[in-house]
Amino acid sequence: MMTIDWKQSLKESVVDPAELAEILHLDQDEIAPVARCYPLRITRHYLGLIREKDDPIWRQCVPDERELQDLCSLPDPLNEQDLSPVPGLIHRYPDRVVWLVSNVCAVYCRFCMRKRQVGCTAATGAPADMDAALRYIRENGSIRDVILSGGDPLLLGDDRLAEILASLRSIPHVEIIRIGSRIPVTLPERITPELCVLMKRYQPIYINTHFNHPREITPRSRVACAMLADAGVPLGNQTVLLNGVNADPAVMTELFRALLAMRVKPYYLHQMDLVRGTHHFRTRVEKGLEIMTSLRGHVSGMAVPYYVVDLPGGKGKVPLLPGYERGNSGAYRLTTYTGEIVEYREL
Ligand code: SF4
């Protein structure tokens, strides 16, 4: 397969609402106000996957007026801001931290749970923040697992990434490094032989990628995942349950089977977080349970992810299984990992 310069590809992505409107035959006034509030970027690769208006790819990347109409949800329902001991670091569980090392993405997903900050120039990622985050990890011996997130960590250059990985590997109590990245989906040419060498050098590194629909699995994304797997990187996948995109048992079955066949283990199926600007993507919990019921017994257990809700307030993820009962008030009574019972009420 021809080598493509990923930095050039990134430069050529669509960021201007006027250009997007022209390509998709849209009225610019429909998308420009949305893009002023929540940034726009779509790589040519991802844009090329759109077949028609409002299809599953379109819905994930084209600004939608409904993003500005959702006013009852919170920008940060998981309370990440308050769980940050230093800027850019989220410490929610005792033994692991999420480190936001980048605030940019190859495609700005319209459903993003961090849409309050991704693509914003004022967000974290400055070198001073990086030093503070590293110091915090170094001084907290209980941290065994560091999850690099963002934005997309794989949009950092190889040198910067190597610097971060080497710093983490110099901390004896950090056992596992995880990277959350949608790059294999949106900019697969970023997975280069040089990047794979880096991944191998600082292993164990786990990469959780983010395929939401079978049409995102392309020959190029398959090559990207195969290169990482061949470099010894265990691959998982986090899918978000999205109304109008993948909230369908047949679509999910196809997606999870295809992922497993390309050495990507379906890890989480996320109930949409209650994030402002994403209301139109949200499904009922019943839909997720229906999908989980349809998977059980019909696809390999290896292809079945955990269906989880990330509880508002930063109380952590709770797996949902078919058969959960609702309380009299209509809310779900869920037990957190600390044993606390929390009522989860849908909006
Ligand atoms: S790639 Fe991830 S962090 Fe970036 S916009 Fe999409 S969901 Fe958000």
- The one catalytic residue in 41, 59, 110, 114 is 114
At residue 334, the pLDDT reads 81
| Residue 255 C-alpha from the chain's centroid | 16
Tell me whether residue 332 is one of the annotated catalytic residues: no
Tell me whether residue 310 is one of the annotated catalytic residues: yes
Q: Indicate which residue's Cα is closest to atom 8 of ligand 1.
A: 112
Which amino acid appears at position 206 of this protein?
Y
- The one catalytic residue in 61, 310, 315, 344 is 310
What phi, psi does 39 have (nearest 5°)? -65, 160
Give the ligand 1 atom nearest the CA of 106: 1
108 CB less than 6 Å from ligand 1? yes
* Contact predicate 272/308, CB 8 Å: no
105 CB less than 6 Å from ligand 1? yes
Phi/psi-derived region of residue 277, left when phi > 0, alpha when psi is between -120 and 50, beta in every other case: left
Per-residue pLDDT of the chain (347 residues; tens, 9 = 90+): 568 899 999 999 999 999 999 999 999 999 999 999 999 999 999 999 999 999 999 999 999 999 999 887 888 888 888 899 999 999 999 999 999 999 999 999 999 999 888 887 654 456 668 899 999 999 999 999 999 998 999 999 999 999 999 999 999 999 999 999 999 999 999 999 999 999 999 999 999 999 999 999 999 999 999 999 999 999 999 999 999 999 999 999 999 999 999 999 999 999 999 999 999 999 999 999 999 999 988 899 999 999 999 998 888 899 998 766 677 788 888 878 787 888 888 87
Give the separation between CA 80 and CA 98, rounded to whole angstroms.
10
Bond before 94 cis per omega within 30 degrees: no
- 334-343 CB burial, b ≥16 within 10 A, e <16: beeeeeeebe
CA–centroid distance, residue 112 to ligand 1 (Å)? 5
Mutation test of ligand 1: which of 90, 113, 182 has the most ligand atoms closer than 8 Å to its C-beta? 182
Tell me whether residue 345 is one of the annotated catalytic residues: no
* Contact predicate 311/344, CB 8 Å: yes
Mutation test of ligand 1: which of 105, 116, 186 has the most ligand atoms closer than 8 Å to its C-beta? 105
At residue 86, the pLDDT reads 93
At residue 188, the pLDDT reads 98
Q: What is the pTM of this model?
A: 0.93
Residue 46: Cβ within 10 Å count: 24
152 CB less than 6 Å from ligand 1? yes
110 CB less than 6 Å from ligand 1? no
3-state per-residue secondary structure call for the chain = CCCCCHHHHHHCCECCHHHHHHHHCCCHHHHHHHHHHCCCCECHHHHCCCCCCCCHHHHHHCCCHHHHCCCCCECCCCCCCCCCCCCCEEEEECCEEEEECCCCCCCCCCCCCCCCCCCCCCCCCCHHHHHHHHHHHHHCCCCCEEEEECCCHHHCCHHHHHHHHHHHHCCCCCCEEEEECCHHHHCHHHCCHHHHHHHHHCCCEEEEECCCCHHHCCHHHHHHHHHHHHCCCCEEEEEECCCCCCCCHHHHHHHHHHHHHCCEEEEEEECCCCECCCHHHCCCHHHHHHHHHHHCCCCCHHHCCEEEEEECCCCEEEECCCCCCECCCCCEEEECCCCCEEEECCC
- The one catalytic residue in 41, 110, 317, 344 is 317
Give the separation between CA 340 and CA 333, rounded to whole angstroms.
10
CA–centroid distance, residue 109 to ligand 1 (Å)? 5
Mutation test of ligand 1: which of 76, 115, 118, 211 has the most ligand atoms closer than 8 Å to its C-beta? 118
